[in-house]
Structure 1
Amino acid sequence: MLSDIYKTYNWTLAELHAFCLICECQNLSQAALRMGVSQSAISLMVQRWRQALGDPLFVRARYGVAPTQIAIALREKLQPLLEEVGIALTQTQGFNPAQSTRVFKVHMTDIGQLVFLPGLNDFVAKHAPGIRLVIKNLGWEALESGLSSGEIDLAIGSLPMIKGRVHSRVFRHERYVTAMRKAHPLAKTELNLDAFVAADHLAIDATSSGHSLVENALRALDMRRNISLTIPHYLAAEQILVSSNYLLTVPNIAVLSFQNPTALCIVPTPLALPSFDVRVHWHERSRQDQGVQWLRTTISDLFGHHR
C-alpha cells in the first residue's frame, strides 16, 4: 500500500508527520497547533491526500475528526518508520536528555503508575524538561506487538508472557504481603492461615494485584476466604483499609507506595505465594536507541533494588 501511495502522491516528511499527528489528536486545530502551522494549511494537506488516495481518510466526529480504516492502517505502518527517522536524526550528535524533545511511550499497569510514575515524572521534569512521557496500559496480549511496532518504547512490570525479540532487565524482586490497619484485632498476633481465611478481605480485582493468585492458592488447599469488598483498582484501597477491619493481600511495593504506609500493619501472607521479578522490557529494534537506553537505565537506577 505504501508503494501505491508514493506512486500517486509525493509526500513530504512534514506531511507524513502531520498525517500521523491528526490520527493521534483526531482534531485538525490541535494538530496544526502542535505542528506550528495554520489550520488552513492542515486542511489543504488533507484535501490533497484525499484526492491522491481516493479515500476521505478523516470523517467528522463530535469533537473533531475520526480516521477511516485506511487512515488507521496507514498510520500503523508510518508511525514506526517516522520514529526511526526521528531517532536517526536526533542521534547524529548523541542523545542529550537535557535538550531532547522526544516523546517516550511506556506501558505501566495501574500499580506501576502508582509506584513508579510520580518519581519518574519528577526526575524527567528536572533533568529532561523537553521530554514528554505518554503512559499506556495495554492488554497483556498486545504488549509484544506494541513493543515490536513502536506503539510503546518500554514496558514495565512482571510480564512473563512477553516473548519474541524482546529484551528485559530485572530491577526489583517482589513478594506478596498482607496489610491491615494497626488497630486491627489480628495485628496483635502472628497471622496464621486459619485466621487469614476467617477474616474479612478487601480485594483488588486487577491483573497486577495478584487477586487470582491468592484465590488459586486457597482453592488448591480446599479453602475459601470471605471477600467483603472488591474494587477494580488501587485508587480507594488505602482509605478503605485504614477505616475497616479488612485484610488486603497485594505485592509489597504497592502497600509501601501508599500515602501513609506507617498507618498499616504489614505482615507476610500465610500462603505459599510465589515471589516475582519486576522488569523493564524493550524490543530488539531499539537495542541501539540511545534514548531508550537512557530511559531504561533511569528507571533501573531510580527504582531498582535487588535482594
Structure 2
Amino acid sequence: MNQMNIGGIDLNLLKVFEALHDESSASRAALRLGVTQSAISAALRRLRDVYADPLFVRTGRGLAPTLRANQLKPVITDALNKCRQSLAMVDPSRNDFEGRSVTIGLSDDFEIAFGRRLMLQVAVSAPKLRLIFRQTHSQVVAHALMGRTIDLAITSGGLADRLLSRRVLGEGGYLCLADPASLRDGQSELTLEEFVEREQILVSSGGFIGIVDEGLAARELTRKVRASTTHFAALPYLLKGTDAISTIPSHAAEAVAQLAGLALLPCPLPMPRYPVELGWRTSALIDPAVIQVREAIETLFKQQT
C-alpha cells in the first residue's frame, strides 16, 4: 500500500464515512449530507483506496461495515467531533449543533421512563442536536463508553473504570404491574401469598433468575414464572388479558402503567433500593454537545425529586 499523507486527502470523505456507518445505506447517507447518491458512491470508492479495505459490503439489509470500518468508526467520529468543538469555540453562546448527535446508553426501562422528557429538554437547550438511544446494561456499559459507541450512560452500576466519571442521579425501587381486570374491585395491594400464587412475567437479560427470586429464596419461597422477556416494552402485550404480574423498577412501572392502562401495586416482598447513575468518559467533558445533554439529564432527574 502506498504511504498516505493527510495533505492529499479530502477530509470531507470522513463525513461520508461517518454517515455511511451510521445509516447503513448510501441513499440515506446522501439524504443526511444533502448530496447525490452518486457522490456518496464516488466518495466510498475513494475511501476504499485510502484505507485499502472494502469498508462496507452490501447485504440484504443494506451496507454492513467491515471489521476495519468498525475499528475506524470511533477514531473518525472523535476527530470530526473535535473539529465541531473547535467551531463551537468561536461562539459558544450559539448552541449550534447542526449535524451533531450524542449517543446515550441505557436499558429500555430508563428509555421508557425518561426518553421522551429528555428529548423535550434537549429540544429547548440545543434544538439542532440529535439524541441516539442505544441499549446497554450494567454489565456492558463501561466497555461501551470506553469503546466510544456511546457518549453518556444512564445505568444502575457498572461504571467502576478509572477513566470514567459518574454522578449519582438518585435511587429507585420496585413496583408490580397487573391487568386491572385481574384484580378484585378496589384491590390496591397483594399479600405475599397472592404474590407467590400468581403467574409472573420475568424481565431479565438471562431469562431464568431475577432479583425477586433471590428475595423469595431467602424466605424459602418460589414463584411461578410463565414467561421471560429481555424488554420492558413488551410487558403491556404480555400482561393484558392475563392474571400474571410483573415486578420491575418503579420508574419504568409508572410509565408503562400510565401509557398501557395497567394497575400499579406495591411489591409485598421487601426489595432493595438501587442507585441510578450517569456516566461518561472523563475526557468527553470538554465536548459542548455532551455537556448540554449531561446537564439536561441532571436537570430532568432533579425534577423527579
- For the structure 1 residues 135 and 95, does the alpha-carbon distance in structure 2 shift closer, same or farther, using more than 3 Å as the test? farther
| Pairwise CA distance, 1:105 | 0.8
Which of 133, 136, 153 is the matching residue for 1:135?
133
Could you list the per-position Cα deviations for residues 76-124 of structure 1 after superposition, in whole angstroms to 9, with x for gaps in the alignment?
Answer: 4322222222223223321544x32221111121111110111122333
| Alignment TM-score, normalising by the size of structure 2 | 0.83
CA displacement at 1:126 relative to structure 2:
4.6
Residue equivalent to 1:300: 298
Supply the distance in 1 between the matched residues of 2:258 and 2:205 (Cα, whole angstroms). Answer: 22
How far apart are 1:214 and its partner, in Å?
0.9
Residues 141-290 of structure 1 mapped to structure 2, 5 A cutoff:
141-181=139-179, 184-185=183-184, 188=187, 191-206=190-205, 212-238=210-236, 240-241=238-239, 243-260=241-258, 264-267=263-266, 269-290=267-288
Q: Output the TM-score relative to the length of structure 1.
A: 0.83
- 8 Å Cα contact 2:172-2:273 kept in structure 1: yes
Partner of 1:31: 29
Candidates 87, 90, 95, aligned match of 1:89: 87
Letter aligned with residue 25 of structure 1: E
Contact 1:106 1:136 (8 Å CA) reproduced:
yes
- The CA deviation string for residues 264-289 of structure 1, in whole angstroms up to 9 with x for no partner, is 2422x233321012122111011232
Kept in 2: contact 1:106–1:156 (CA 8 A):
yes
The answer to whether the Cα contact below 8 Å between 2:138 and 2:158 also exists between their aligned partners in 1 is no
Q: Distance in 1 between matches of 2:57 and 2:33?
A: 21
Report the CA distance shift for 1:259/1:246 in structure 2 as closer, same or farther (over 3 A): closer
Change over 3 Å in CA distance of 1:151–1:222 after alignment to 2: same
Q: Structure 2: how far apart are the matches of 1:10 and 1:142?
A: 39
Point out where structure 2 has 5 or more consecutive residues left out of the alignment: none
| Distance across 1 between alignment mates of 2:246 and 2:58 | 47
Contact 2:141 2:158 (C-alpha < 8 Å) held by counterparts: no
User: Equivalents in 2 of 1:240, 1:49: separation in Å?
Assistant: 47
Amino acid paired to 1:50: R
The unaligned stretches of length 5 or more in structure 1 are none
- Count of residue correspondences: 302
Check 1:6–1:85 CA distance in 2 against 1; reply closer, same or farther (3 A cut): farther
Greater displacement, 250-259 / 108-117: 250-259
Deviation at 1:154, TM superposition (A): 0.8
Tell me the CA shift for residue 161 of structure 1: 5.0
Letter in 1 for 2:294: R
Contact 2:106–2:153, Cα closer than 8 Å, also in 1? yes
* Alpha-carbon distance between aligned partners in 2 of 1:137 and 1:190, rounded to the nearest angstrom: 32
